[in-house]
Amino acid sequence: MKSGTLNTIAAAVLAVFATGACANERAELEALRDTTMNLIRALVEQGLLPRDRAEALIRDAEVRAKAARAAAEAPVAGAVAGATAGAAVAGAATTTGAVRAGDPQVVRVPYVPQSVRDEIRAQLREEIIARARKERWGVPEALPEWLDTITLEGDVRVRSQIDRFNDTNAAAFQFPPGYFPQGNAANTLVDRERMLLRGRFGATAHLSPSWSAGVRLTTGSIDSPVSTNQTMGRYFNRSSILLDRAFLRYDNRSWLSITGGRIANPFFAPSETVWAADLSFEGVAASIRPQVTPTFAPFVTVGAFPLEEREASSSDRWLTGVQAGFQWQVTPEIQVRTGAALYDFRNLVGAREPVGSFVAGSPTYGQSQARFRQKGNTTFNIADPAVSFASPLYGLASEFRVSNVSALLSFTHFDPVTVQLALDWVRNLAYDEASIQRRTGLLPSQLGPASGSNGFEGRLSVGMASMRSRGDWQLFGGYRRLGSDSVVDAFNDPAFGLGGTNNRGYYLGASYGLDRNVWITTRFLSASEIKGPPLSIDVFQVDLNARF
Q: What confidence score (pLDDT) does residue 524 get?
A: 98
**Which SS3 state, helix, strand or coil, does residue 349 take?**
strand
Query: Nearest 5 degrees, angle CA 264-CA 269-CA 270?
Result: 125
- What's the one-letter identity of residue 49? L
Q: DSSP characters for 38-86?
A: HHHHHHHHTTSS-HHHHHHHHHHHHHHHHHHHHHHHHHHHHHHHHHHHH
Is 348:307 a contact under the CB 8 Å cutoff?
Answer: yes
Q: What confidence score (pLDDT) does residue 136 get?
A: 61
Cα dihedral 64, 65, 69, 72 sign: positive
Cβ atoms within 10 Å of 544's Cβ, excluding its own: 14
Q: What confidence score (pLDDT) does residue 449 get?
A: 78
Is 161:538 a contact under the CB 8 Å cutoff?
Answer: no
- By C-alpha distance, which of 498, 503, 465 is closest to 484? 503
Q: What confidence score (pLDDT) does residue 443 get?
A: 77
- By C-alpha distance, which of 411, 441, 437, 407 is closest to 422? 407
- Cβ-count burial 117-135 (b if 16+ within 10 Å, e if not): eeeeeeeeeeeeeeebeee
Q: What confidence score (pLDDT) does residue 97 get?
A: 44
Beta bridge partners of 379: 396
- Cβ-count burial 453-490 (b if 16+ within 10 Å, e if not): bebbbbbebebbeebeeeebebebbbebbbbbbbbbbb
Please report, in angstroms and rounded to a whole number, the separation of the first and last CA atoms in the chain.
81
Q: What does DSSP assign to residue 293?
A: B
Pairing mode, strands 211-218 and 150-165: unpaired
**Own/partner long-range contacts of 329-336 (Cβ < 8 Å, ≥24 apart):** 329/294, 329/295, 329/296, 330/295, 332/412, 333/411, 333/412, 333/413, 333/415, 334/409, 334/410, 334/411, 334/412, 335/409, 335/410, 335/412, 336/407, 336/408, 336/409, 336/410
Is 467:407 a contact under the CB 8 Å cutoff?
Answer: no
Pairing mode, strands 230-231 and 281-288: unpaired
One digit per residue, the tens of pLDDT, for the chain of length 548 reads: 444 443 444 444 344 444 444 445 566 666 666 667 776 776 666 665 667 777 777 777 777 767 666 665 555 445 444 444 444 444 444 444 444 544 555 555 555 666 667 777 777 777 777 776 666 665 555 566 677 789 999 999 999 999 999 999 999 999 988 899 877 778 999 999 999 999 999 999 999 999 999 999 999 988 899 999 999 999 999 989 999 999 999 998 779 999 999 999 999 999 999 999 999 999 999 999 999 999 999 999 999 999 998 876 778 999 999 999 999 999 999 999 999 999 999 999 999 998 888 876 777 888 899 989 999 999 999 998 888 888 899 999 999 999 999 999 999 999 999 999 999 999 999 999 999 999 988 877 777 778 899 999 999 999 999 999 999 999 999 999 999 999 999 999 999 999 999 999 999 999 999 999 999 999 999 999 999 999 999 999 999 999 99
Q: What confidence score (pLDDT) does residue 137 get?
A: 62
Euclidean distance between CA atoms 16 and 9, whole angstroms: 11
Euclidean distance between CA atoms 273 and 375, whole angstroms: 14
- By C-alpha distance, which of 357, 355, 350 is closest to 373? 350
Is 479:458 a contact under the CB 8 Å cutoff?
Answer: yes
Cβ atoms within 10 Å of 534's Cβ, excluding its own: 12
Q: Domain locations in the chain?
A: 3-111, 146-547
pTM more than 0.95: no
Fold observed for domain 146-547: Porin (2.40.160)
Q: Is 182 left (phi over 0), alpha (psi -120 to 50) or beta?
A: alpha
- Cis amide leading into 416 (omega within 30): yes
Q: What confidence score (pLDDT) does residue 10 get?
A: 41
